[in-house]
Amino acid sequence: MPEVSANYSPSIFFKSGHLSTIYCGLVRRVNGVTQKRERLRLADGDFLDLDWSQSTTPTRKLVVLLHGLEGDGQRPYITGSAKLFNQNGFDACAVNFRGCSGEPNRLYRSYHSGATEDLEEVITHILNTYSYSEIYLNGFSLGGNLLLKYLGERNTVPKEIKGAAAISVPCSLRNSCEQLLTPKNVLYAQRFKKHLIAKLRQKQHLFPMLITDSDIKNIKTLKDFDDIYTSRAHHFKDALDYYTQCSSLQFLPDITVPSLIINAKNDSFLGEECYPIFEAGQNENLFLEIPKYGGHVGFWGKNNCTYTEKRSLDFFNSH
């Protein structure tokens, strides 16, 4: 579909991309969501923790929520989405990626932007265990890239998957990494690196022969982390090979499920290649919105409900 016009005009304070990003990431709080945790045992011996919240009325509709880099099922953008969907006839399953639920995962490997095998196991588990007739995917940043790759890389998807919404998506991982390494994003990059290295030190205790002090010392940037750990742990040649294989941009032409992408024009994490205008124009199942404002997973809204939360709900209800 051609690019969809966006009707998002926040107050002057939230027209700043950085303020919007920081407020929604660090300041926003969401109350009133009750989650129940389920541990999913994976085929390779590892596990994922799923945080479930229920609709206020009985339903056969489910939204699967996928967080971003170093996020989890309790981040406000996840619980805010779960709350709105629960209030509107959807159960919600918030997936905590490997090592993101407060407990280190068991294997040397972890999660990454293209680990669609884990999403596939979650969906298979849901289909085999529950009786949902409609399943929708809602991902943020890394989680948005992952769900778009999942939808586009396979010949068929389960018939129960009716739609998807991906917010602030680094469709080109290389292009997004380039942006994160620029001075305008230095504080975000340092924060991400701090959390990633802390987890890597935890993993070093389990795998001291695979992760050395020298490895950790050599991680100066996020790209270094992907060169030294992500690529090695997940069988890529290096960071650039990881970015090339796992970027969702190349999979967008083959998506057959109605899918909405919302990337703000003032998202400092995204470069030009992360706005798939051409790909959306060539695929009737892709709907691309590029609001002028919103930052990275920002999109402040009144009554503590963001524009993208409302927009995702409306998109799912219309498809």
* CA separation for the pair 21, 266 (Å, rounded): 10
DSSP at 228? I
Report the 10 Å Cβ neighbour count for 267: 29
Assess whether 238 carries a catalytic annotation.
Answer: no
Q: Is 62 helix (H, G, I), strand (E, B) or coil?
A: strand
- 213: which residues sit within 8 A by CB, 6+ positions away? none
- The catalytic position among 91, 226, 227, 267 is 267
Contact between 281 and 1 (Cβ < 8 Å): yes
Contact between 299 and 264 (Cβ < 8 Å): yes
The position carrying tokens 């970027």 is 247
Q: Is 65 helix (H, G, I), strand (E, B) or coil?
A: strand
* CA separation for the pair 68, 97 (Å, rounded): 9
Assess whether 205 carries a catalytic annotation.
Answer: no
**Residue 307, both tokens:** 């524009």
* CA separation for the pair 8, 291 (Å, rounded): 6
Assess whether 267 carries a catalytic annotation.
Answer: yes
- The catalytic position among 67, 112, 234, 296 is 296
- The catalytic position among 141, 172, 176, 259 is 141
* CA separation for the pair 25, 42 (Å, rounded): 30
Catalogue the active-site residues.
Answer: 141, 267, 296
